[in-house]
Amino acid sequence: MESLHGLGTATDWVVMFVYFIGIMLFGSYFAKYNRNTNDFFFGGRRFAWWLITVSIVATGVGSHSFVKYAAKGLEHGVSSTMTYMNDWFFMPFFLFGWLPIVVYTKIKSIPEYFEKRFSPTVRLIATVFQLLYMIGYLGIGLLTLGKVFTPLLPASFDIFGLFIPVNLMGVIITIAAITGVYTTFGGQTAVIFTDLIQGVILLLAGFLIFLMGINYVGGLEAFWHLLPPDWRLPLADFNSPADFNFVGIFWQDGVAGSVGFLFMNMGLLMRFMSAKSVDEGRKAAVFNVLFMLPLSAIVVGNAGWIAKAILGMAKPALNADVNPDEVFIAVTHIIASKGVFGFVIAALTATLLSTVDSLINAIAAVYMNDVHPHVRKLYAKRVTTQEQTSKEELFVARISSIVITAVGILATIPFSKYPTVYQAHGYFHSTLTPPLVTAIFLGVFWKKFTPAGVLATFLGGSSLMILGATYPDILIAPIAHGTPFDPVHPYSYISALYNTIVCVAVGVLITLTLSWQKGIVNKIRKSASHELMMKVFIGIIVASLIIIWVNVLPLVISMIIVLVMTVLVSLTAQYYIHFDPNVHLDGLTAWSIHRAKEIFKGGKVNEREGEVVSAQWRVRKDNEDYVSVSKADMKKMEAEVGDLVYVCDKRKYLGGLKSFHSKYGEPHEENGVVYIGEEHRLSAQFQEGKIVTVEKEM
């Protein structure tokens, strides 16, 4: 396989440098809209759906990048779009189950939901899975960046007589160091606006390549007929080859990946949480899946299709032996002129960098919120001042970011052993998402699902997954739908089906037998040595996990050990963890969303549908958190005193940037006038004389 080097010219490097500086300055301008941590993390719940939709493009394209889809576009054609076109099936669950719960319960991380819904112990185990998932994503991001940059650099550098060869690992480490410098100062608002402009540029750059490519091969008709018939189909072959087949990718991406992306990607959820209301977040999600994802699929995959068409021409300008992961760079280099090539690469790498950077920040946030408080107990002095604590936390956050980046670099090593980034990402997704996805899904939609069920899913389910990875020819083959067995990378995709089945089966079976287990736990409690028995149970659980992990016993004995361990986990959880349905289900499942709304509002919900009213704004003398409008306007909006209100600059193109949330105060008599507090004016940055719209949120 040919590897490329030295494709970047001086013009391209200048264009890339200017682009990066421009993007960083653009992002830092929006830092002024942060007035508290809610603004910093969530952008202050103010934005319009269209603004969020476009900003999500950079997130989706950044993590599911040009590199891997162009590679699959070359190898398999239009079916590279498959993974962008199968996200609709879980939208009802997401839009009317999970999204309102996330917004109304104001959770800041997925593990926090596990604590509210189950218990602190479950939160700790969920944190471990979440960190593994995010670090895996970081490894994929860094590996992709390395694969983008390596072809641009010469084969070696000669600096003052020092000969430095350019290899993938060296490039990855250098990029990780640069990423540390490329941090976002402005918080979520700056991230949203940086991603907004990057999303637009990415779409333009992608379509620019497509149009130039079509033109290069002689028009649309010529392009279509240069593609072999199998390359024109939108779905891959049902069960072959091993590295790209429909049925495996359906379960890995369409099921585990879609649910993982919608339910546990905190970066994406935080975007939807920055919408002005739940309904606005729904609009953003719907528009994203219906229109932006299919467009993104064309944008990221078309370089591969163009490459295949070029290879079908009489005198192809492309080497037939090109490395698939470098085909995007190779095709862009052939069809784009100097400078344009630099622009496209800059657009791609800036997005990838911001994805990687926000991932490092997100992992650091999970560490600081979910792990560090436990670590701190081990060394912290009894009395520290607030100032000392915040200084120490800032220091720890920085150190943890550095450590996380280093772990991310290490994570690229196993991934780089896969033939393409796509397959590495597929296997990682198949392995890490099923336990968390099952736990969230059953937790949200099944009231009977308790800490015993979720802990059994985490520990029993993941043990069965380890057995599946160890004995794929026995455990996974029967449900592999005839996909070929590759001994080096066995069942990269269809293993997601096996992993999902075992996690769901464990969770459901344990939950359905809870009343029988409760009888056993009650008997244990009555025995004289009940505490000793539970300690023995915990010892057996730990020993079982180690035995499964080191894999020294035959399969049948290992299976029996896992089943016994799963039951013991459930019994132990019921013995130690107090589960109170009135607390752990209140507003935290799809069955109690109305209650979640009441908790969010702090009172009875008013669901009557009213109008949006335009008004002039005036600032009151006091700084209380309420706004007042006239009685007539209240009637138009079907609003009552104490309802939640959203006030926004009337200019639609601002996308809600100048806006704030508050509550209705007592009405006055001046129609078309809204009185607001000074803090409202500062956070929304309203301009004198500009009209605002006032609407009831709930």
Partner 1 sequence: MPSFSHSWLPFIYLYGFGGLFFFAGMYIIHKTKGLDLRLKRNKWWRKVLYFGFFYFLIIHAILIIAALYW
Provide the binding-site residues for partner 1, judged by CB under 8 A. 78, 85-86, 88-93, 95-97, 100, 224, 229-230, 232-239, 246-247, 250, 254-255, 279, 282, 286, 289-290, 294, 445, 590-591, 593-594, 607, 609
Least separation in angstroms between CB 588 and partner 1: 13
Supply the minimum distance, in Å, between the C-beta of residue 631 and partner 1.
25
Burial call 614-643: b when 16+ CB within 10 Å, e when fewer: ebebeebeeeeebbbbbeebbebbebeeeb
Q: Are 240 and 484 in contact (CB under 8 A)?
A: yes
Closest CB to partner 1 among residues 92, 602: 92
Q: How far is the CB of 606 from partner 1 (least distance, A)?
A: 12
Cβ proximity to partner 1: between 67 and 293 the closer is 293
Please check whether residue 72 is in contact with residue 422, taking contact to mean a CB–CB distance below 8 angstroms: yes
Cα Rg of the chain, angstroms: 27
Least separation, in Å, of the C-beta of 287 and partner 1? 10
CB count, 10 Å around CB of 41? 17
Closest to partner 1 by CB, 173 vs 590, is: 590
Q: Please state, in angstroms and rounded to a whole number, the distance separating the CA atoms of residues 324 and 307.
A: 10
Nearer to partner 1 (CB atom), residue 254 or residue 342:
254
Cβ proximity of 2 and 650 under 8 Å: no
Which residues 6+ apart lie within 8 Å of 135 measured at CB?
A: 363, 404, 407, 408, 411
CA–CA distance, 529 with 525 (Å, rounded to integer): 8
* Nearest-approach distance from CB 94 to partner 1, in angstroms: 8
Residue with Cβ nearer partner 1 (2 or 607): 607
- Residues 6 or more apart in contact with residue 643 via CB below 8 angstroms: 601, 606, 663, 664, 696, 697, 698
Q: Which two tokens stand for residue 132?
A: 């593994």
Torsion angles phi and psi, residue 380, rounded to 5: -70, 145
Cα distance between the two ends of the chain: 60
CB of 490 to partner 1, least distance (A): 22
Q: Are 78 and 428 contacting, i.e. CB atoms less than 8 angstroms apart?
A: no
- 314 exposure class (CB count in 10 Å sphere: 0-12, 13-18, 19+): exposed
CB of 95 to partner 1, least distance (A): 7
Q: Minimum CB separation from partner 1 for residue 233, in Å? A: 5
- Ramachandran angles phi, psi of 613, nearest 5°: -110, 135
Nearer to partner 1, 64 or 333 (CB): 64
Give whichever of 172 and 298 is closer to partner 1, judged by the CB atom.
298
Residues in CB range of 481: below 8 A, 6 or more apart: 238, 239, 247, 248, 494
CB of 591 to partner 1, least distance (A): 5
Closest alpha carbon to 75 in 261, 327, 263: 327
**Cβ nearer to partner 1, comparing 121 with 592:** 592
> Cα angle vertex 329, ends 324, 330, to 5°?
75
Rounded to a whole number of angstroms, the minimum distance from the CB of residue 92 to partner 1 is: 3
